[in-house]
Amino acid sequence: MGTTRAVDGGTPSGRPDPSAPLGVFDSGLGGLTVVRALRATCPHEDIIYLGDTARVPYGTRSPETVIRYALGCAGVLTSRGVKAIVVACNTVSAVALEMLRVELDLPVLGVILPGARAAVAASRGKPVGILGTAGTIASGAYLRAVASLSTRTEVIAQAAPLLVPLAEEGWTEGEVPRLVARRYLEPVIARGARCVLLGCTHYPLLRGVIEEQGAALAGEPVLVVDSAAAIADETSSFLAERGQANDAEHEGRLDLLVTDVPKSFEIAAARFLGEATKGAEQIDL
């Protein structure tokens, strides 16, 4: 990540302790795909993840409410001494990122710009398809992000809300997810997109079926870009450039916080993370 990207994370007034954990939050389970990517890319970093399961989903809330919820989540993570916050929620990244950067005295990174950057690079000037929740698509955040990077890249945005419950229920294979993915991909592929950005952190669990149905519709491979992997790569570069990466000898630890239903969260978390979890602590916002 070059110097032109430094503004992506804001500018803190002090220098956090490199051994401090990263804070990550989302409205529920989806952000765990970001955690999974971070643990693969930044294995030496301790991570505190907060899932606001008592108030999920954020996508149906007003911008004012999303901002209030986001500030509450960020406040919890800040109180636990994190050195930076990764917003693993497309809705918050779309409407509350700048407010978080104004209010917090530490770097804040969101998923939208890194995902858009990866998609623009992968598309090589051809149309980019974006699948996201209704709220994220309606916000126009990805369209603005792509336009800020390339005025020549056409964006074909498609709301794909049914992919979220499929991911949460573990329905990632079989006829139902194939039919749903095909329905959402048809207008995107028909307009020429051969690169599809997963604009929701739930969607990486369905990457296989999205690639399969995209290729079937296009008659050629369709490149699928994962915004979770993109933000993990940029977080790694961000920390390295600022000398804030943890000791390479340290084995990163993951702590999970939730605002409701910790037991059911733990069960689903193992599927999203691809590894067993030690349990989630319930907190009150």
Question: What are 255's strand-pairing partners?
Answer: 48
Question: What are 22's strand-pairing partners?
Answer: 47, 84
Compute the average pLDDT of residues 104-108: 94
Q: Is the dihedral of CA 187, 140, 225, 74 positive or negative?
A: negative
Q: Spell out the domain ranges in the chain.
A: 3-110+229-282, 113-227
Fold designation for 3-110+229-282: Rossmann fold (3.40.50)
Residues 200-213 have pLDDT tens digits of 989 999 999 999 99
Residue 167 exposure: Cα atoms within 13 Å on the Cβ side: 29
Taking alpha carbons only, the member of 74, 107, 149, 142 closest to residue 234 is 107
59 close to 136: Cβ distance less than 8 angstroms: yes
100 close to 182: Cβ distance less than 8 angstroms: no
Gap between the Cα atoms of 122 and 198, Å rounded: 13
Tokens 């933000």: give the residue.
Answer: 231
| pLDDT at 8 exceeding the cut of 80 | no
The first and second tokens of residue 223, run together, are 């490149």
Q: Edge-to-edge, what's the strand order for the sheet holding 155-159?
A: 155-159, 128-132, 195-198, 223-226
Whether 3-110+229-282 and 113-227 share one fold: the answer is: yes
Q: Give burial (CB, 10 Å; 0-12/13-18/19+) of 222.
A: buried
Fold designation for 113-227: Rossmann fold (3.40.50)
Q: Provide the 3-class DSSP secondary structure of residue 262.
A: helix
Strand 223-226 versus strand 280-282 pairing type: unpaired
Helix (H) or strand (E) holding 73: helix 63-79
pLDDT of residue 11: 45
pLDDT of residue 62: 87
Catalytic residues: 89, 200
Full-model pTM? 0.88
Residues 42-66 have pLDDT tens digits of 999 999 999 999 998 887 788 899 9
Gap between the Cα atoms of 236 and 41, Å rounded: 7
